[in-house]
Every structure is written in structure tokens, then in C-alpha cells.
């Protein structure tokens, strides 16, 4: 069955258009509420959001949907996605909802759903809910319509849980840290958690106005945090995205430390402590070959999945890993959270900085990434990857890179684009093979 609404991470799109309207949000509330009406207890959903203007509209629509089928609603306000996962479990809720389009601009929004265990829904659950969106669902009798309430201590609960991810003897005294919250969901909780652990905190991206989320700030736009670190003489900078499930770090020189380097640090530190499970780290096909070689040199493995943090999580759960993530900054640490949590990952990095006594530039650049190039090539129609000439060019590129690099080619799931990524020890060769494949795809679709 094809998907009309759910993508790789919930439902997402341009607000007031397509799948992201108030009417559809209300229907999602009715469908998800009906799906999770199990047992005879009073049913409950928790709803959080980031700082987008459209969050007000979608929040109210979801409340209408859930209450109309008899489910009580607990509103948490602006909080990171991992906080919603946590509080879904803590409040014994049947389902959790995060209203966010993550790192996208403010015009987009999305709906992410969590089960009562705090994990994102399975494909089967999403498909079942999607099928219900086209059905007339039974509404609750008048006396059984749900109630909605807002709780005021949600931020404090999450901050307490985040700090609990560190041993009691770890303090951040003496560290000057720049925290960039992307004008998003963590604008209150992330700086507070780090300050409460003793650090001097310099904040940027903490003045959301509904339309400035991810705008020239946060983990996808590092100029602001990098400049602030250097100008203030800070020891390190941490940058989150709009819903704070991603983390990118900059060292004291303003140099970027991506998710691959962070996985290398956290994975090897846990291995040294005898706490790493699974014998390695889980990442996607986009993680750099340098990470794989570094881990192999430490006797650890890098298990690769398709792109998307949900695929990483599925592999981690299936095979018993506790560290996984993406080059883009999703960091999943299953000892502490059920989904990516940028703030918890940041605290693990800060703790390592304290314990090592090293500067961030010394500690965080554990391997030299091999040259990597990603290009997107748009095509006009058909299936260019099935073209004989394209397949021949790809085969030739794979032969050239054999033993010296990798090639990853995948169609976009949302637009007519082929993504071509190559990496290897020879930067010129990498650029040559990517260019040849992109040219072949364009010719095949002309």
C-alpha cells in the first residue's frame, strides 16, 4: 500500500497546503486516537510543539480530533521532540504527538507520533492510521468527549531527565559554552540544563517569533554559533535544530564537528568504559568512510542503514546497539532516550571535555574524513537508474572506487531527484565519478 501522508519521519509539508492543513490535522487526531483506544482505562495523549507560527493552528486541530473520539489531551507547549517521547512514557499516555518540521523553514510543519513506549511508530502502525484517514470514524458520545489541560512543569521534568544522563560527580564549572537553539523548541530547556550543571552559557537563537526558526542559526546554519564562539573566547559551541533532536558542535576555533565525529567520540568512550553494546555503532550509508576506518582500528564495527534516523533506530533495537546516529547530527543514545536527543548528546560531549582536560579541537577531531561529494541531479521523468547507459557508468565508477572508496546512489522519496554520493582517498577521482554519473542521468532523462 502506498503512502499518501506519512513520510520517513511522520507527516510533513507546507502549512495550509497539501497534507498539512488544520482539517487533516484534526483527522489525524481522530485516527490516531481511535487507533490507540485500547482497554478500559481513561485514554490520554500528550502534545508538544516547536516554535512555528502554524503550531497554534495545528495544536488546536489535533486537540479537537483527539477529544472528539474520547481521548484526554495534555498540552506541553514548546519542547524538544525527545521531551515528548520521554513525557509520553512518564505520563502513562497512550500516544504522544510532536508538532514540528525539524530543520525545515517556518513555512513547513509536521506531525510526529510516538507510541506509549516513547518510540516512533512502526510502519504497520502508520499505515493503519493512514488507512483510517479516509474513513468515517465513530465519535465519542457527548458525555465521553475528552478533556484538555496544560501542565506547567513539563520543562522542569525534561531538564531533570537530561541532567540525569550524567553521573552525579560531573560538573561543567569553568566551561564557557555557546548554545544555539535555532530559535526552536529547546530555546528554554537546553541553556537551562547546561547552566544548572555549572557552565557559563552564552545563548544565541533563543528569541523565537514564530517565523525565525532555523533562520541563519542552528545546526544547519553554523555561521552564528561559530562566530560567537570565537568572538567570546568560548571553549565550545553546541548547535541544535528546530526540534532539538540533532546536534552539531563547533570547537574553540569555530571548526565544525559533525555527527560522525560525535559518534566516534561517544562510541569509543563507552567502549573504553565497557558500556558499549553491539560491538560498534549504527549509522547510515551517508556516514564518512573515515568513521568506519577509525572504528575498525579500535576493534569496533560500523553498521550501516538506509538514510533516516528511524532506520538507525530499528537496527539498534533489533541487534542490541546503544549508540547510533547520522552525519547530520541525529544522535540516538538508547541508554538515555528513545529517540535522537541533541541536548543529551551535547552533555555527553561536554562531560568528555571535562574528564579529558583537553581542548575541544584536540578531543573532537578523532579521524580525518575522506573526501566526500554529494550532488543532486533532477530528472524530467521515467526511471533513469534503469537506463543501460546509466548502469554502465555506475558499474565503471564502482570499479574505479573498489577498495578505495564508496558509491551511494539513491532516488529521493519526495521529488524527481537522484542523489549521487561518492567518497574515496582521491578527491579528484571522487569528483570525476560523481560528475560522470550525474551527466549520464541527465542524458537518460532528456
Which pLDDT score, from 0 to 100, does residue 110 have? 97
Which pLDDT score, from 0 to 100, does residue 1 have? 44
| Distance separating alpha carbons of residues 46 and 392, to the nearest angstrom | 52
Q: Point out the catalytic residue in the list 54, 68, 102, 165.
A: 102
User: Mean pLDDT for each 10-residue chunk of the chain (446 residues)?
Assistant: 78 94 98 94 97 98 98 98 98 98 96 96 93 95 97 96 95 97 98 98 98 98 98 98 98 98 98 97 96 97 93 96 96 96 98 97 97 91 88 94 91 82 95 94 84
CATH class of the 6-154 domain in this structure: alpha beta
Which pLDDT score, from 0 to 100, does residue 46 have? 98
Which pLDDT score, from 0 to 100, does residue 59 have? 98
Which pLDDT score, from 0 to 100, does residue 340 have? 96
The arrangement of secondary structure in 372-445, i.e. its CATH architecture, is 2-Layer Sandwich (3.30)
Among all chains, which residue has been given the C-alpha cell 516554535?
Answer: 51
Which pLDDT score, from 0 to 100, does residue 414 have? 65
Determine the CATH number of domain 174-364: 3.40.120.10
User: 226-239: string of b/e by CB count within 10 Å (b at 16+)?
Assistant: bebbbeeebbbbbb
Q: Identify the burial level of 153 via C-beta atoms within 10 angstroms of its C-beta, where 0-12 means exposed, 13-18 middle and 19 or more buried.
A: exposed
Residue pair 438/397 in contact by the 8 Å Cβ criterion:
no
Among all chains, which residue has been given the C-alpha cell 568504559?
Answer: 273
Which pLDDT score, from 0 to 100, does residue 416 have? 84
User: Cell digits for 80?
Assistant: 524538544
Which pLDDT score, from 0 to 100, does residue 2 have? 58
Is residue 432 annotated as part of the catalytic site, yes or no? no
Domain spans of the chain?
Answer: 6-154, 174-364, 372-445
User: Cell digits for 69?
Assistant: 473520539
Do 6-154 and 174-364 show the same overall fold?
Answer: yes
Among all chains, which residue has been given the C-alpha cell 535522537?
Answer: 340
Amino acid at each position: 500500500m502506498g503512502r499518501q501522508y506519512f513520510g520517513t519521519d511522520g507527516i510533513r509539508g507546507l502549512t495550509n497546503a497539501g497534507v498539512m492543513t488544520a482539517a487533516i490535522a484534526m483527522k489525524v487526531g481522530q485516527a490516531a486516537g481511535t487507533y490507540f483506544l485500547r482497554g478500559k482505562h481513561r485514554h490520554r495523549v500528550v502534545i508538544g510543539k516547536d516554535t512555528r507560527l502554524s503550531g497554534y493552528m495545528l495544536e488546536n486541530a489535533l486537540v479537537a480530533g483527539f477529544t472528539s473520539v474520547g481521548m484526554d489531551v495534555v498540552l506541553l507547549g514548546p519542547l524538544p521532540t525527545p521531551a515528548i517521547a520521554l513525557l509520553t512514557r512518564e505520563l502513562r499516555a497512550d500516544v504522544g504527538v510532536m508538532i514540528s518540521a525539524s530543520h525545515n523553514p517556518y513555512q513547513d510543519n509536521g506531525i510526529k507520533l510516538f507510541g506509549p513506549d516513547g518510540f516512533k511508530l512502526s510502519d504497520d502502525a502508520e499505515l493503519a492510521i493512514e488507512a483510517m484517514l479516509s474513513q468515517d470514524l465513530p465519535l465519542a458520545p457527548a458525555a465521553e468527549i475528552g478533556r484538555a489541560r496544560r501542565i506547567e512543569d513539563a520543562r522542569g521534568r525534561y531538564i531533570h531527565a537530561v541532567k540525569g544522563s550524567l553521573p552525579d560527580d560531573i560538573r561543567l564549572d569553568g566551561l564557557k559554552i555557546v548554545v544555539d537553539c535555532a530559535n526552536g523548541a529547546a530555546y528554554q530547556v537546553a541553556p537551562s540544563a547546561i547552566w544548572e550543571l555549572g557552565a557559563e552559557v552564552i545563548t544565541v537563537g533563543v528569541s523565537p517569533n514564530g517565523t525565525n526558526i532555523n533562520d541563519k542559526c542552528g545546526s544547519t546554519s553554523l555561521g552564528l554559533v561559530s562566530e560567537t564562539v570565537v568572538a567570546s573566547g568560548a571553549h565550545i559551541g553546541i548547535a541544535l535544530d528546530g526540534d532539538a533532536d540533532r546536534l552539531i558542535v563547533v570547537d574553540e576555533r569555530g571548526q565544525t564537528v559533525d555527527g560522525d565525529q560525535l559518534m566516534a567520540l561517544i562510541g569509543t568512550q563507552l567502549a573504553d568504559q565497557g558500556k558499549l553494546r553491539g560491538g560498534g555503532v549504527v549509522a547510515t550509508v551517508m556516514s564518512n568512510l573515515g568513521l568506519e576506518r577509525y572504528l575498525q582500528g579500535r576493534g569496533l564495527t560500523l553498521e550501516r542503514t538506509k538514510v533516516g534516523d528511524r532506520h538507525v533506530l530499528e537496527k539498534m533495537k533489533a541487534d542490541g546497539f546503544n549508540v547510533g546516529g547520522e552525519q547530520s547530527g541525529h544522535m540516538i543514545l538508547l541508554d538515555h532516550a528513545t529517540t535522537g536527543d541533541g541536548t543529551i548528546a551535547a552533555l555527553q560531549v561536554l562531560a568528555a571535555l571535562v574528564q579529558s582536560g583537553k581542548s575541544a579541537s584536540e578531543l573532537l577531531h578523532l579521524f580525518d574524513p575522506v573526501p566526500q561529494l554529494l550532488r543532486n541531479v533532477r530528472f524530467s521523468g521515467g526511471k533513469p537508474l534503469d537506463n543501460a547507459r546509466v548502469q554502465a557508468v555506475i558499474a565503471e565508477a564502482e570499479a574505479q572506487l573498489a577498495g578505495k572508496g564508496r558509491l551511494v546512489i539513491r532516488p529521493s522519496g519526495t521529488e524527481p531527484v537522484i542523489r549521487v554520493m561518492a567518497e574515496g582517498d582521491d578527491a579528484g577521482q571522487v569528483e570525476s565519478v560523481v560528475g560522470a554519473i550525474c551527466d549520464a542521468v541527465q542524458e537518460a532523462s532528456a
